[in-house]
Structure 1
Amino acid sequence: MSEVFDGYERQYCELSANLSRKCTSASALNGEQKKQKVSEVKTGIDEAEALIRKMDLEARSLPPNVKAVLLAKLREYKSDLNNLKSEVKRIESGSLSAATRDELLESGMADTLTASADQRSRLMSTTERLDKSSDRIKESRRTMLETEELGVSILQDLHSQRQSLLHAHNTLHGVDDNIGKSKRILTNMSRRMNKNKWIVTSIIIVLVLAIILILYFKLTK
């Protein structure tokens, strides 16, 4: 999925759980201790908002199918953070009587913590599903890389075979040229032999005729 987003997500979940505990403890405090605890919670909320912004930027830089899933998770985190802010405002608002505070702790705070726990359970379930989706995406990416490597290997083999065929073609072309030259040479030699044959035959005929004439004249005399 995204290691950067996962890192921010882990930090946010830890920080959110810590802030919820601090809110619970701050509700039971008074005076300066309460103010100090609320100040710590506000500082933590600022850090949580910064983490959400970082997660948002990281999610928007990813492919559309991954981005949509991560932005859905971010909406859950933003809702969780808004609940924490509302909780802080309720704590700051006031001068609540001890009875009111106890009632809040027993009812409203319990409901808030229960809702927060349910929300975190949903977030954890969503995170597990996203982790499984991330594993499937990684496996698909690994398969694609293996397929790409196989394709590259096949292309290299085909290129090597093409080079071998081109070399064989060039060799055959050279052999054809040599055969053509040899054929022309043999043709020329055959023509010369035929020409020499006619010349020798003509010479023999002339010599035979000369001998016949000589014999004729000798015999007639």
Structure 2
Amino acid sequence: MSEVFEGYERQYCELSANLSKKCTAAGALAGEQKKQKLSDVRAGVEDAEALIRKMDLEARSLQPNVKAVLLAKLREYKSDLNNLKSEVKRIASGNLNAAARDELLESGMADTLTVSFADQRSRLMMTTERLNQSGDRIKDSRRTMLETEELGVSILQDLHSQRQALLHANNTLHGVDDNIGKSKKILTAISRRMSRNKWIIGTIIAVLIIAIALVLYFKLAK
């Protein structure tokens, strides 16, 4: 897994938990304090969006099997960020029930902090669970990568052996071609000698026949 992606991921998880805490606190405020808190939250949301974009770019630059896992995680983070944006809009629009807001204010800061910590703890536990699941998926992907790499090395070794065998066969064929060429030359030379010998033998036979004919002629002439 990319260490760069992990760094962005840690930053996002911390920022997301902090923004959730601020949203809870902003819901219990009013007036300028609420506006200031929401302004801080919106700035944090922009930082979170920037981290999401960086994680997306980093994930898309990795190998396909790792890329698929990281993009799946990224979709969860995007969904989490969208939920956070919706919460900010809800608080900013003032849709919070007035009676519920009064009840919240009357319940005191202790209840607000309790809810805030409980929500933050819930988000952190959910984030931790996602990280663990992602870690398992990444381990599986890494194991698959190693197995694929071993298979690739084995295939390359087989291809190298086959290449050596083909080169050896090619050299053998060249040797056979050379031997056939030499054999052709020898057979051609033998054929020429045989032809020459045939002419010589034919000439000798013709001379003998002529000599015998001359001898017979002279004997009969006497």
TM class by shorter chain equals: 0.5 to 0.7
Which of residues 57, 68, 82 in structure 2 aligns to 1:65?
68
- Whole-Å separation in 2 of the counterparts to 1:72 and 1:36: 29
- Whole-Å separation in 1 of the counterparts to 2:39 and 2:77: 27
Letter in 2 for 1:55: M
Shift of 1:130: 0.6
Letter in 2 for 1:65: A
Q: Which residue of 2 aligns with 1:133?
A: 137
Letter in 2 for 1:68: A
Letter in 1 for 2:9: E
Higher RCO (CA < 8 A, seq sep 6+): 2
Larger deviation, residues 78-87 vs 47-56:
78-87
In the superposition, the TM-score normalised over structure 1's length comes to 0.68
Letter in 2 for 1:175: N
In the superposition, the TM-score normalised over structure 2's length comes to 0.67
Is 2:25–2:112's contact at 8 Å kept on the other side of the alignment?
A: no
Shift of 1:173: 2.0
- Whole-Å separation in 1 of the counterparts to 2:126 and 2:146: 30
Deviation string 1:64-94 (CA, Å, 9 cap, x unpaired) is 733233212332354357658878999xxxx
State the identity %: 27
Partner of 2:204: helix, strand, or coil?
Answer: helix
Q: Which residue of 2 aligns with 1:182?
A: 186
Matches within 5 A, 1:121-200: 121-200=125-204
Matches within 5 A, 1:26-175: 43-58=43-58, 63=64, 65-66=68-69, 67-79=71-83, 101=105, 103-175=107-179
Letter in 1 for 2:183: I
Shift of 1:171: 2.4
- Whole-Å separation in 2 of the counterparts to 1:42 and 1:73: 17
Cα 1:89–1:114 shift into 2, 3 Å: farther
Unmatched tracts of structure 2, length 5 or more? 95-100
Q: Which residue of 2 aligns with 1:93?
A: none
- Whole-Å separation in 2 of the counterparts to 1:72 and 1:24: 21
Larger Rg: 1
Cα 1:191–1:6 shift into 2, 3 Å: same
Letter in 2 for 1:198: G
Is 1:8–1:55's contact at 8 Å kept on the other side of the alignment?
A: yes
Is 2:38–2:88's contact at 8 Å kept on the other side of the alignment?
A: no
Larger deviation, residues 64-73 vs 128-137:
64-73
- Whole-Å separation in 2 of the counterparts to 1:138 and 1:198: 88
Letter in 1 for 2:145: R
- Whole-Å separation in 2 of the counterparts to 1:123 and 1:210: 127
- Whole-Å separation in 2 of the counterparts to 1:25 and 1:76: 19
- Whole-Å separation in 2 of the counterparts to 1:199 and 1:211: 18
Cα 1:89–1:42 shift into 2, 3 Å: farther
- Whole-Å separation in 1 of the counterparts to 2:220 and 2:53: 134
Unmatched tracts of structure 1, length 5 or more? 91-95
